Amino acid sequence: MPAVSRGGRGRLVVMTGAAGGIGTAVVRALLAESYRVALVDNDKCGLDAIQADESAAPTFVCDVANADQVDGTIAQIEEHVGAIYGLVNVAGVLRTGPVVRCGDDDWEAVFAVNALGVFHCSRAVARRLITRRDGAIVTVASDAASVPRVGMAAYAASKAAAVAFTNCLGLELAASGIRCNSVAPGSTDTTMLRSMGTGDVVSAAVEGRSDLFRVGIPLGRVADPDDIATAVEFLLSERARHITMQSLYVDGGAALRG
């Protein structure tokens, strides 16, 4: 087998949730490793801002929960930008609250993006990758996918669905040389984390809260979005060429996984 080559070498990666905190960091990390990126998000202003700040990468306003929009966007990217090598599913939403107060609309809204959106985007991209027998998909899930969290049932279940889906897809695509993995962030300093409550949510995450059965973060800090981006870039790259159907936890040890 030839030596592992480093860097993206101009390969094209589609990024959903590109306008968010973790998405922006992933875009920066991929550009630094010589990938090309196509930025997808439903927030047009956010896309315009990241395009102005970070790159002249092409942007696509698209709701990942809408299969027709996703299929159209992926077709447009293939036609006007180039052949897709990889997909990073970052788009996500969070709604919190106890199950007894979780409405059907809350459950559906969370699953529409975090699970259905991952399915729509992965299916559309996999259809292209499979014909070329090359590529990689990385889904940004959450450590909540495997650790029960108070007030986060819908979100945790949606992320567990995304991980299970990504692993099954990885199994189906392995024979075509395509790898599918997940990154499971713990608390990461973005607007999503800061929307989780009043007060100092960062200190609460680090120190833990016995009333919420949260043990805190053994490494003593919340993640910076760049910590997540590094893991995503690794899993996309050829350095991870023998890794598929795995979840890489980037949570400072918060999930206490042995």
Ligand X SMILES: NC(=O)c1ccc[n+]([C@@H]2O[C@H](COP(=O)([O-])OP(=O)(O)OC[C@H]3O[C@@H](n4cnc5c(N)ncnc54)[C@H](O)[C@@H]3O)[C@@H](O)[C@H]2O)c1
- Among positions 135-194, residues that touch ligand X (CB under 6 A) are 140, 142, 185, 187-188, 190-193
17 makes contact with ligand X (CB under 6 A)? yes
Q: Which is nearer to ligand X, 176 or 246 (CB)?
A: 246
**Side chain identity at 106, as an amino acid letter?**
D
Task: Please tell me whether residue 43 binds ligand X under the rule CB under 6 A.
Answer: yes
Alpha carbon distance 213, 150 (integer Å): 8
Binding mask 50-69 for ligand X (x = CB under 6 A): -------------xxx----
Place of tokens 């630094």: 32
User: How far apart are CB 186 and ligand X at their closest, in Å?
Assistant: 6
Q: Nearest to residue 182, comparing CAs of 226, 223, 145? A: 145
Q: How many CB atoms neighbour CB 213 within 10 A?
A: 11
Q: Report the distance separating Cα 37 and Cα 108, nearest Å.
A: 30
Q: Is 20 in the site for ligand X (CB under 6 A)?
A: yes
Interacting residues with ligand X between 72 and 111 (CB under 6 A) = 90-93
- Between 18 and 136, name the residue whose CB sits nearer to ligand X: 18
Angle between helices 117-132 and 153-173 (to 10 degrees): 10
Query: What residues does 140 pair with on adjacent strands?
Result: 183
Binds ligand X by CB under 6 A, chosen from 30, 42, 73, 227 = 42
- Residue placing its CB nearer to ligand X in the complex, 46 or 135: 46
Q: What residues act catalytically?
A: 155
Least separation in angstroms between residue 93's CB and ligand X is: 5
Taking alpha carbons only, the member of 45, 51, 227 closest to residue 140 is 227
